[in-house]
Amino acid sequence: MTEQEQPILSVKNLAVTYKTRKRDVNAVRDVTFDIYAGENVGLVGESGCGKSTAAYSIVGFLGRNGRVSNGEILFRGENLANRPESDLRKLRGADISMVYQEPMSALNPTMLIKDQLAESLIVHQNMDKKAAYEKSLESLKSVYMPDPEGVMDRYPHQLSGGQQQRVLIAMALLNNPSLLIMDEPTTALDVTVEAAVLDLIAELKERYNTATLYITHNLGVVARVSDRLAVMYAGEIVELASTKDLYAKPLHPYTMGLMRCLPDVDAPKGTRTLHPIDGRVPSPDNLPEGCIFSPRCEFARENCFTEHPKLDEVVPGHQARCFYAKEWLEKGVRWDDRMEEPERVCPERPAETDEIMLTIKDARVYYPVPFKTVRGLFGLEKRKYVRAVDDVSFTIKRGRTLGVVGESGCGKSTIAKAIVGLEALHDGKIDFLETDISSPINKRGSQTIRDLQMVFQDPNGVLNPSYSIGDQIALSLRRFNTVPRDQEYDEVVRLLRAVKLGENYYHRLPRQLSGGEKQRVGIARAIASNPAAVICDEPVSALDVSVQAAVLNLLLEIQKQQNTTMILISHDLSSVRFFSDDVAVMYLGRLCEIGPCESIYSSPSHPYTAALLAAVPRPDPTLEQTGVRLHGRVPSAVNPPSGCRFNTRCPFKIGEICEKEEPPRQDMGGGHLIYCHLPPQELNKL
């Protein structure tokens, strides 16, 4: 990229306004940035920061109530703002392409892949069908689609998520666009698939010299693909710099805050505290005065609350919207400085006991597949099952935390549901505090129910929208007779305070709360019965990073205070490392590896674990991020591969034995078990 060149896209003082019932709302204000050919600019921010709105205004997808109210969007020198639909339609798909977040909903489920691909060539380049098909096939090859000829004749639902995303990227590149807008293209994908797609995006940039606008909330992802980053907060760009500079010395307190609250996959439990950013992103119709970040900024001074800072160039190529950016630079305030604070949540823990809390033995959870034939209905066909959890055994000691990781469909959530009794066991046994709890919840004793509680994933579904927060917590108290009736109110308030919410939340309704607050109420409800064990099913995966940190800290604190045993189900290996003492890695209903966090993360031994860890995007642009990559898709759990389940994708497959025989359990010492055919010394080398 040379500075003299004309930028492909130049956005100047862009403001986007939405008309709502009450008034006009400026969702995006004063956004200015350029993208040059062959450059990847990342637009980063939490949800509600206006990053998608800013990007969609370029192609005019603002909906009926949105419009560009100020500024210019210059695409190769031409202003696109508020252009008629017909002009934009010619540009879209040809000169400007988009890749969306949800590949499944971005593809038309009723059209063959080849027809969808060819369509844009036929429309924009007047190609004939045959030539269009040929070009489409070529483009599929260029995104390294396995079996491209076969894929051409398939429907979207016959492809895996990663393949669908490859089709979308191929489609976006068909007309050699000069600008590519990618809206969270890997957020919906599993981490191993994400890694492969990111590799592809990075390579395509080199090959096609396309200008790319990359929208994401994930600082790890942009560190890998972007050259420059624009950090957005509440509709404004607060910092704009090259990726290296931004990660090395962030100059805006918001950027520093974002980096401080990321769990680090390479840091063991207890060595780091996460610093959440207090408060929440203000809604665009109720912006604070002065600097928009001032209410949440820990460095804010008096004038921050009254004056609005401009986006200033602090050093060449590094702009920040902060009055004191120069000072941070000169004084050398670094984002990780405050991490050495004494206020640590995790290290000291009550002495460990050897008491075994939970034993799972040969657990299987099967879902019957509905019969599709008449013969089946009359019982003449063998019943087929989705083997969600197939022969899993492990134990947890009192006071420890087990993290269960794996990609979607590996059975990690199902095992959690089986433990709390929401799913019935097909076979096997679960013992909890020396009681057999293999039966589903309606057959369990109330003491067991009270001792085994759960924190759920979706903050929007976790609370009943019809009742106030306090009433929902009080209901649990009443059910378990935790406290006498007349102390109920005080106990609810105590619980609310324990999850860092105040008494004034008692009468609020769930919809008046933010996602993070709802999740806290969910935690308060789970600990209301004083449970001995809490199972957390992806408790933070639906939350913004700054809120994730707060919720994880809260869970750790509760564990420390009450010596609760916890199981953390998560696809995010970083938060598992931050949170857990032990880790279990699952693949397709089976356990691959289980053991103390340290021995697994520091030297991953199972090939699948190695691939998972290599795939985690690290928020550090200086790291060379390569390693084991997985190909192919996860096989069906109705008909899993014989032998080792991982053999179809394993890069270290040793031969027939992997397909024929169940992998043996190998004890690596210290409670570290690996299910693999590779001999121990080979495993240690991985």
Among 164, 186, 273, 453, binds another protein (CB under 8 A): 453
* 22 makes contact with another protein (CB under 8 A): no
Convert 90-133 into a string of H (helix), E (strand) and C (coil).
HHECCCEEEECCCHHHHCCCCCCHHHHHHHHHHHHHCCCHHHHH
Among 2, 3, 21, 626, binds another protein (CB under 8 A): 21
- d(CA 479, CA 617) in angstroms, rounded, equals 44
* 80 makes contact with another protein (CB under 8 A): no
Q: Which residue has the tokens 């990111």?
A: 198
Q: Using DSSP, state whether 645 is helix, strand or coil.
A: helix
- d(CA 587, CA 576) in angstroms, rounded, equals 16
474 versus 591: smaller Cβ distance to another protein:
474
* 476 makes contact with another protein (CB under 8 A): yes
* 482 makes contact with another protein (CB under 8 A): no
Q: How far is the CB of 413 from another protein (least distance, A)?
A: 11
Q: How far is the CB of 285 from another protein (least distance, A)?
A: 16
* 379 makes contact with another protein (CB under 8 A): no
The region of 189-197, 230-238, 321-329, 445-453 touching another protein under the rule CB under 8 A is 445-453
Asked if 99 and 38 touch (Cβ cutoff 8 Å), the reply is no
* 465 makes contact with another protein (CB under 8 A): yes
| Amino acid letter for position 278 | D
The region of 75-83, 241-249, 417-425, 657-665 touching another protein under the rule CB under 8 A is 417-425
* 623 makes contact with another protein (CB under 8 A): no
61 versus 489: smaller Cβ distance to another protein:
489
Count of other CB atoms within 10 angstroms of residue 492:
26
Q: How far is the CB of 529 from another protein (least distance, A)?
A: 8
- d(CA 227, CA 10) in angstroms, rounded, equals 16
What values do phi and psi take at 281, rounded to 5? -60, 125
* 495 makes contact with another protein (CB under 8 A): no
Q: How far is the CB of 409 from another protein (least distance, A)?
A: 18
Size of the site for another protein (CB under 8 A): 36
Nearest to 247 by CA among 51, 542, 42: 42
* 462 makes contact with another protein (CB under 8 A): yes
Among 179, 182, 420, 634, binds another protein (CB under 8 A): 420
44 versus 430: smaller Cβ distance to another protein:
430
| Amino acid letter for position 429 | K
- Write out the DSSP string of 213-240: EEEES-HHHHHHH-SEEEEEETTEEEEE
Nearest to 293 by CA among 349, 254, 340: 254
Asked if 275 and 549 touch (Cβ cutoff 8 Å), the reply is yes
* 64 makes contact with another protein (CB under 8 A): no
- d(CA 539, CA 396) in angstroms, rounded, equals 20
**Distant-in-sequence, close-in-space partners of 37: CB < 8 Å, separation ≥ 6:** 1, 5, 8, 178, 209, 210, 211
* 36 makes contact with another protein (CB under 8 A): no
The region of 130-138, 154-162, 374-382, 476-484 touching another protein under the rule CB under 8 A is 476-484
For residue 180 the two structure tokens come to 């590519």
Asked if 251 and 322 touch (Cβ cutoff 8 Å), the reply is yes
Q: Give the bridge partners for 659, in sequence order.
A: none
Q: Which of residues 239-268 bind another protein (CB under 8 A)?
A: none
- d(CA 238, CA 254) in angstroms, rounded, equals 8
* 481 makes contact with another protein (CB under 8 A): no
Query: Going residue by residue from 640 to 659, which x/- string records binding to another protein, judged by CB under 8 A?
Result: --------------------
* 458 makes contact with another protein (CB under 8 A): yes
Q: How far is the CB of 120 from another protein (least distance, A)?
A: 34
* 457 makes contact with another protein (CB under 8 A): yes
* 522 makes contact with another protein (CB under 8 A): yes
Q: How far is the CB of 511 from another protein (least distance, A)?
A: 9
457 versus 559: smaller Cβ distance to another protein:
457
Strand order in the sheet with 40-44: 96-99, 179-183, 211-216, 40-44, 228-233, 236-242, 318-320, 312-315
Q: How far is the CB of 363 from another protein (least distance, A)?
A: 19
* 542 makes contact with another protein (CB under 8 A): no
Q: How far is the CB of 591 from another protein (least distance, A)?
A: 24
Q: How far is the CB of 153 from another protein (least distance, A)?
A: 35
Among 90, 301, 375, 479, binds another protein (CB under 8 A): 479
Count of other CB atoms within 10 angstroms of residue 631:
13
Among 72, 266, 391, 503, binds another protein (CB under 8 A): 503
The region of 152-160, 369-377, 439-447, 548-556 touching another protein under the rule CB under 8 A is 439-447
| Amino acid letter for position 377 | L
User: What is the tally of helices (H) and strands (E) in the chain?
Assistant: 24, 24
* 299 makes contact with another protein (CB under 8 A): no
- Count the alpha carbons within 13 Å of 81 in the hemisphere toward its beta carbon: 19
Asked if 662 and 643 touch (Cβ cutoff 8 Å), the reply is yes
Residues near another protein (CB under 8 A) are 21, 420-422, 441-442, 446, 449, 452-454, 456-458, 461-468, 472, 475-476, 479-480, 489, 502-504, 506-507, 509, 522, 525
